């Protein structure tokens, strides 16, 4: 699975402003954010890794909404140059922060549920046998068709795809590894979400 490691490292998340504009943020939501934060005092821009913040009040716009930042989030607090971690207000530029996770205070999400809310906002095509996808990062723009699904002994779901121009062979037959791919289903869905694969034009 080493050849899929780069997929694991690439994720695309909606921004804070995008979710606010879509009405996907409500009072009481707990958000995990990351990205560049602008200081309200000196306009300095600082990259901050994942930090947690709670929506306190939702205003008409993002910059009129207030948030509560946990005092333990020292890195984020310093980046915003805060003296008070309660009723934090984001600047317009902070709307570009990526939302890594979103859940209500009373809800604990599993990893699969955590991905689901992103899929609900940016739907991806249904994965089913016979679905055809183009690898847009491939100079040859090769097409791949889902032939079946497999489950590893550890319970990992795999999507088996074949080059659309090749004749399908079963698992016991010799095949060219470039013509058949075994892809981790969750990572394949992330690639669809990120736009690497797009449905074939019929």
* pTM: predicted TM-score of the whole model, two decimal places: 0.48
- For 189-198, write each residue's pLDDT tens digit: 877 777 778 8
pLDDT value, residue 167: 43
pLDDT value, residue 65: 92
pLDDT value, residue 161: 86
Look at residue 176 and tell me whether its pLDDT is greater than 50: no
Q: When comparing pLDDT for 193 and 110, which is higher?
A: 193
Q: Mean pLDDT, to the nearest integer, of 54-65?
A: 90
DSSP-assigned letter for residue 172: T
Which parts of the chain fold into alpha helices (H)? 5-9, 16-21, 74-80, 111-121, 185-194
CA distances from 141 to 59, 70, 81, 160, 176 (A): 45, 47, 48, 18, 18
Q: How far apart are CA 43 and CA 112, in angstroms?
A: 38
- Domain-wise residue ranges, the chain: 12-121, 125-199
* Widest pairwise Cα distance in the chain: 66
């Amino acid at each position: 699975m080493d050849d899929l490691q780069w997929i694991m490292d690439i994720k695309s998340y909606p921004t804070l402003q995008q979710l606010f504009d879509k009405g996907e943020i409500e009072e009481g939501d707990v958000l995990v954010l990351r990205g560049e934060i602008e200081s309200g005092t000196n306009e300095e821009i600082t990259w901050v890794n994942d930090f947690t913040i709670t929506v306190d009040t939702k205003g008409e716009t993002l910059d009129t909404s207030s948030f509560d930042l946990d005092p333990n989030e020292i890195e984020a607090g310093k980046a915003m140059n805060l003296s008070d971690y309660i009723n934090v207000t984001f600047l317009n530029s902070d709307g570009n922060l990526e939302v890594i996770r979103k859940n209500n205070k009373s809800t604990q999400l599993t990893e699969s549920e955590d991905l689901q809310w992103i899929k609900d906002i940016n739907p991806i095509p249904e994965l089913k046998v016979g679905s055809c996808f183009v690898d847009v990062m491939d100079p040859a723009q090769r097409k791949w068709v889902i032939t079946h699904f497999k489950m590893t002994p550890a319970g990992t779901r795999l999507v088996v795809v074949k080059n659309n121009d090749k004749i399908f062979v079963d698992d016991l037959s010799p095949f060219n590894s470039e013509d058949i791919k075994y892809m981790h289903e969750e990572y394949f869905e992330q690639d669809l979400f990120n736009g690497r694969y797009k449905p074939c034009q019929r």
